[in-house]
Chains A and B, each alone.
Chain A
Amino acid sequence: MKKALKTLALSVALIGSFASAQAQVTEQFVALPSYRVGPYAAGGSGFYGGIIDYFNLVNANGGINGVKVSWEECETEYNPSRGVECYERLKTKNGGATMVEPLSTGIAYGILDRIPQDKVPMTTLGYGRSDAANGKVFPYVFPLISDYWSQAAAMIKYLGDKDGGVAKLKGKKIVHLYHDSAFGKEPLPVLEALAAQHGFELIKIPVAPPGSEQQSQWLQIRQAKPDHVILWGWGVMNSVAIKTAQRNGFPREKILGVWWAGSEEDTVPSGDAAKGYTAMSFNTPGNYPVLDEIRKKIYTGGKGNLADQSRIGSVYHMRGVTAGILFVEAMRTAQEKFGKGKPVSGEQLRWGLENLNIDEARQKAIGALNMFPPVKTSCDDHEGSGAVKVQQWDGKKWNAITPNWIVGDKALVRKLVEESSNKYAAEKKITPACMK
């Protein structure tokens, strides 16, 4: 054993010499524990590509009041253990990371307890703990735009509207076909509460990860003859579901996917089978001035992050650009309070994220009008919006089929958020309070 420790001491010295190099703090530093290899590489490369493209654009335009954004990636392979290591490595770089976005529920959970101590705010756009919307208990976590519970509520509202009002859902059957993991089970409290409230039957059918075999599940669905199927899938599970639905003669129009089941990477491999398939999104598909600017200023200069230029404006890329916009706006907001023209600290950026207000006028100024719902956060509401859209695949691209943003039963979601986050606070002995 002593030899092992000796080997260890050596490696420690080696790694230490690498990690100790620190730069002068003149830039706003963001930690990006990303993943570009492994089973979820398609999502990771698009999302982080979008963030970096937008950061590059902001820097090319002179930064935020002159402050450039800097970032560093660290490959996590979507593995929580690697993710924690990456976070620990990045958080002290360049004078300390002022924000982190892991795009993985597992990693987000792994660093959840560390971020308040380190004073590094974390955003979880469209994933993670839904109850983190309560900023009194989770002051450093920001599930911006929309979390799973809001999405589930919005899904039921949309399905109700499709049938002519939520009251019409009474006696109908809705299948929740889900990835059998924390991610797939997250919406269950909302769906169950809504089923009890509106009187529809909720049939829960789990799919064992990664979900490459779903024959028996779709047989079960065909026998149940549901009115709607919610596809709460991730990765390879989605295209398998779409193809198996086709093989079983189940109309794809009746399937409504979660936003992680609504990208080009999910539909293109399914070919014709995906035509007519609908999914949620917190972006409106289409083209925007900000994307044109990225094409013009970043990609023509060869500084673009995506290897394949046709992916610009794809679902994951646009989600990344949206994230980038929110981050930069938070930095701008924080600078307005704590002093323009210099980088803000993690604590100050936390304030910026908590006081975001991106209305339509601001969106227009950025060149992203209607690209995502207006976001207004507060201490009580770290989500800031909760609005989503439904998009449909026409065989070539996604089109929004709901012209307006949909918001589900907000009161119900809020009640569940309060219950769940207060339970967490009691477990962790946190006194819920707003931070200044």
Chain B
Amino acid sequence: MFYREAGQFKTSYEADGQILPIRQDRIALFVTLAVALLALPLISSPYMLSAILIPFLIFALAALGLNILTGYAGQLSLGTAAFMAVGAFASYNFVARIPGIPVLLAFVLGGLCAAMVGIAFGLPSLRIRGFYLAASTLATQFFVVWCLTKIPWLTGHSSSGVITAQKMEILGYAFDTPERKYVLVLGVVAFMALLAKNMLRSNVGRSWMAVRDMDVAAEVIGFRLMRTKLLAFAVSSFYCGVAGALYAFAYLGTVEPEAYNLDLSFRILFMIIIGGVGSILGSFLGAAFIVLLPVFLNILAHGLALPTSVASNLELMTFGALIIFFLIVEPHGLARLWQIGKEKLRLWPFPH
């Protein structure tokens, strides 16, 4: 960005407390949102929308949820996919069992169910931290999937445990084409990202960061540890739950519990590690990296007419190498790279 905030003075507390204090940033955000909302659905092919952009946005939301918990509140978790599963299966049940329920309300209720599960499995965080907590959140992962395969009521008594997500309708308007699904997902994700941005600047966010940086000190200065940590688990699980519901309703359509396996949890963890721990932008960058890069490599390998078996192994190798490279060059993720670039440009051409 070849612009500086020099000359933009803040004269009131309101001006100082804006989400984006620099005018150019604000304009750029509105322009990108407008492009994403108005132009992309028109110019993108259905493939681009339904196979690239929708999963990218959904994974970004899930990564954002994990980032709230891990990046901002400092609680490691490996149960992301389980919270997504709770959100998805709960939303499915709300739609199936309460006739005429608005689908967005079902998503919110699904998210709340995930939040409750999150609180229950967040309880160990009061006593243990770090890798030990990560290991204990693994229990969520296995417990939730186990529940979904064992309790037929949760999956609507389907013989194989697979649910079929219902049609999405809001006020009689069906979201059934790739364009419409994309707009719905974009709306939900943009709203929740904005919400997260605001939450993190508020008291709540500050208390999370205080706990992350040193929980004993945070307790001494008056933050209530239990409330803060459990709130982080609740909010994070809510985000993951909504992402899971979108994954089932707007992307896959039909899911079996196995779709939300440990592998998915790891992928979302990689997203925030690569994108940037403790950064909203990082969640999006990380999701883009993990979702888009394999597809891009795959298409590239195909363009070079490599045999499929070679291509897919090459893809894994390149992907792994790039991850290692990025983490060596910038262990704080892509978001930090961006920040450094911005700071350098701010001082350019005089580096002092």
**Nearest Cβ distance between residue B263 and chain A, in whole angstroms?**
8
Please tell me if A182 contacts chain B, counting CB pairs below 8 Å: yes
Residue pair B32, A5 in contact (C-beta under 8 Å): yes
Query: What separation, in Å, do the CA atoms of A45 and B308 have in the docked complex?
Result: 10
Please tell me if A411 contacts chain B, counting CB pairs below 8 Å: no
Please tell me if A434 contacts chain B, counting CB pairs below 8 Å: no
Give a binary string over B155-192; 1 marks a CB under 8 Å from any A CB, 0 the rest: 00001111010110000000000000000000000100
Residue pair B29, A185 in contact (C-beta under 8 Å): no
**Nearest Cβ distance between residue B216 and chain A, in whole angstroms?**
34
Query: What separation, in Å, do the CA atoms of A256 and B344 have in the docked complex?
Result: 68
Please tell me if B252 contacts chain A, counting CB pairs below 8 Å: yes
Residue pair A74, B252 in contact (C-beta under 8 Å): no
Give a binary string over B287-301; 1 marks a CB under 8 Å from any A CB, 0 the rest: 010001011101110
**Nearest Cβ distance between residue A415 and chain B, in whole angstroms?**
14
In B42-84, the 8 Å CB interface with A consists of 44-48, 50-53, 55-56, 60
Question: Of A20, A34, A113, A429, which is within 8 A of B254 by CB?
Answer: A113
Residue pair B55, A105 in contact (C-beta under 8 Å): no
Residue pair B52, A182 in contact (C-beta under 8 Å): no
Please tell me if A201 contacts chain B, counting CB pairs below 8 Å: no
Residue pair B312, A37 in contact (C-beta under 8 Å): yes
Query: What separation, in Å, do the CA atoms of A401 and B177 have in the docked complex?
Result: 51
Residue pair A1, B29 in contact (C-beta under 8 Å): yes
Residue pair A182, B258 in contact (C-beta under 8 Å): yes
Please tell me if B330 contacts chain A, counting CB pairs below 8 Å: no
Please tell me if B116 contacts chain A, counting CB pairs below 8 Å: no
- The residue in chain B whose Cβ has the minimal distance to the Cβ of A148 is B160
Interface residues on A, range: 35 or more
Query: What separation, in Å, do the CA atoms of A422 and B325 have in the docked complex?
Result: 53
Query: What separation, in Å, do the CA atoms of A11 and B40 have in the docked complex?
Result: 13
Write out the residue numbers on chain A whose beta carbons fall within 8 Å of the beta carbon of B257: 181-182
Query: What separation, in Å, do the CA atoms of A72 and B308 have in the docked complex?
Result: 10
**Nearest Cβ distance between residue A74 and chain B, in whole angstroms?**
7
Question: Of B51, B161, B166, B281, which is within 8 A of A88 by CB?
Answer: B51
- The residue in chain B whose Cβ has the minimal distance to the Cβ of A184 is B160
Give a binary string over A96-134; 1 marks a CB under 8 Å from any B CB, 0 the rest: 000000000110011111100000000000000100000
Of A79-87, A221-229, A367-375, A380-388, the segment with at least 4 beta carbons within 8 Å of chain B is A79-87
Chain B interface main SS type: helix
**Nearest Cβ distance between residue A108 and chain B, in whole angstroms?**
9
- The residue in chain A whose Cβ has the minimal distance to the Cβ of B197 is A1
Residue pair B51, A85 in contact (C-beta under 8 Å): yes
Please tell me if A2 contacts chain B, counting CB pairs below 8 Å: yes
Please tell me if A268 contacts chain B, counting CB pairs below 8 Å: no
Residue pair B311, A2 in contact (C-beta under 8 Å): no
Residue pair B338, A8 in contact (C-beta under 8 Å): no
Residue pair A3, B338 in contact (C-beta under 8 Å): yes
Contact (A12, B53) CB under 8 Å given A5-B36, A185-B161: yes
Query: What separation, in Å, do the CA atoms of A349 and B122 have in the docked complex?
Result: 53
Please tell me if B280 contacts chain A, counting CB pairs below 8 Å: yes
Residue pair A11, B312 in contact (C-beta under 8 Å): no
Please tell me if A424 contacts chain B, counting CB pairs below 8 Å: yes
Please tell me if A23 contacts chain B, counting CB pairs below 8 Å: no
Write out the residue numbers on chain A whose beta carbons fall within 8 Å of the beta carbon of B193: 1
- The residue in chain A whose Cβ has the minimal distance to the Cβ of B50 is A88
Residue pair A186, B160 in contact (C-beta under 8 Å): yes
Please tell me if A365 contacts chain B, counting CB pairs below 8 Å: no
Please tell me if B100 contacts chain A, counting CB pairs below 8 Å: no
Write out the residue numbers on chain B whose beta carbons fall within 8 Å of the beta carbon of A18: 299-300, 303
Question: Of B50, B280, B299, B312, which is within 8 A of A15 by CB?
Answer: B299
Question: Of A3, A79, A186, which is within 8 A of B281 by CB?
Answer: A3
- The residue in chain B whose Cβ has the minimal distance to the Cβ of A429 is B167
Interface residues on B, range: 35 or more
**Nearest Cβ distance between residue B10 and chain A, in whole angstroms?**
21
**Nearest Cβ distance between residue A126 and chain B, in whole angstroms?**
15
Query: What separation, in Å, do the CA atoms of A19 and B164 have in the docked complex?
Result: 30
Please tell me if A27 contacts chain B, counting CB pairs below 8 Å: no
Please tell me if B151 contacts chain A, counting CB pairs below 8 Å: no
Query: What separation, in Å, do the CA atoms of A186 and B161 have in the docked complex?
Result: 8
**Nearest Cβ distance between residue B3 and chain A, in whole angstroms?**
13
Give a binary string over B235-270; 1 marks a CB under 8 Å from any A CB, 0 the rest: 000000000000000011111111100010000000
Write out the residue numbers on chain B whose beta carbons fall within 8 Å of the beta carbon of A34: 308
Please tell me if A53 contacts chain B, counting CB pairs below 8 Å: no
Residue pair B149, A12 in contact (C-beta under 8 Å): no
Please tell me if B6 contacts chain A, counting CB pairs below 8 Å: no
Contact (A11, B259) CB under 8 Å given A4-B60, A85-B55: no
In B102-159, the 8 Å CB interface with A consists of 149, 159
Residue pair B51, A89 in contact (C-beta under 8 Å): yes
Write out the residue numbers on chain A whose beta carbons fall within 8 Å of the beta carbon of B52: 12, 15, 85
Write out the residue numbers on chain B whose beta carbons fall within 8 Å of the beta carbon of A16: 44-45, 48
Contact (A7, B285) CB under 8 Å given A19-B47, A180-B149, A181-B256: yes
Query: What separation, in Å, do the CA atoms of A424 and B14 have in the docked complex?
Result: 55
Query: What separation, in Å, do the CA atoms of A183 and B259 have in the docked complex?
Result: 13
Query: What separation, in Å, do the CA atoms of A201 and B257 have in the docked complex?
Result: 28
Query: What separation, in Å, do the CA atoms of A61 and B300 have in the docked complex?
Result: 32
Residue pair A428, B299 in contact (C-beta under 8 Å): no
Please tell me if A26 contacts chain B, counting CB pairs below 8 Å: no
Write out the residue numbers on chain A whose beta carbons fall within 8 Å of the beta carbon of B36: 5
Give a binary string over A156-195; 1 marks a CB under 8 Å from any B CB, 0 the rest: 0000000000000000000000001111011011000000
Query: What separation, in Å, do the CA atoms of A19 and B48 have in the docked complex?
Result: 9
Question: Of B28, B160, B252, B313, which is within 8 A of A81 by CB?
Answer: B252
Please tell me if B15 contacts chain A, counting CB pairs below 8 Å: no
Residue pair B254, A92 in contact (C-beta under 8 Å): no
Residue pair A109, B29 in contact (C-beta under 8 Å): no
Residue pair B315, A4 in contact (C-beta under 8 Å): no
User: Which of B40, B55, B251, B254 counts the most A-chain CB atoms under 10 A from its CB?
Assistant: B254
Write out the residue numbers on chain B whose beta carbons fall within 8 Å of the beta carbon of A2: 25, 28-29, 31-33
Please tell me if A420 contacts chain B, counting CB pairs below 8 Å: yes
Residue pair A75, B311 in contact (C-beta under 8 Å): yes
Contact (A185, B160) CB under 8 Å given A1-B280, A105-B256, A180-B149: yes
Residue pair B44, A12 in contact (C-beta under 8 Å): yes
Give a binary string over B320-338; 1 marks a CB under 8 Å from any A CB, 0 the rest: 0000000000000000001
Sample of 5 more A-B contacts, CB < 8 Å, known A2-B28, A6-B32, A106-B256: A1-B190, A8-B56, A72-B302, A89-B295, A182-B256
Task: Report A's interface with B, CB cutoff 8 A.
Answer: 1-9, 11-12, 14-16, 18-20, 34, 36-37, 45, 72-75, 77, 79-82, 84-85, 87-89, 91-92, 105-106, 109-114, 129, 180-183, 185-186, 188-189, 209, 307, 420, 424, 427-429
The 10 A-B pairs of least Cβ separation, nearest first, read A4-B284, A88-B51, A75-B312, A182-B160, A2-B32, A113-B253, A109-B254, A5-B32, A182-B256, A85-B51
Task: Report B's interface with A, CB cutoff 8 A.
Answer: 25, 28-29, 31-33, 35-36, 40, 44-48, 50-53, 55-56, 60, 96, 149, 159-162, 164, 166-167, 190, 193, 197, 251-259, 263, 280-281, 284-285, 288, 292, 294-296, 298-300, 302-303, 308-309, 311-313, 315-316, 338
Could you give 12 example pairs across A and B, Cβ below 8 Å?
A1-B284, A5-B33, A14-B296, A15-B48, A16-B48, A36-B312, A75-B308, A92-B45, A92-B46, A109-B253, A109-B255, A181-B161
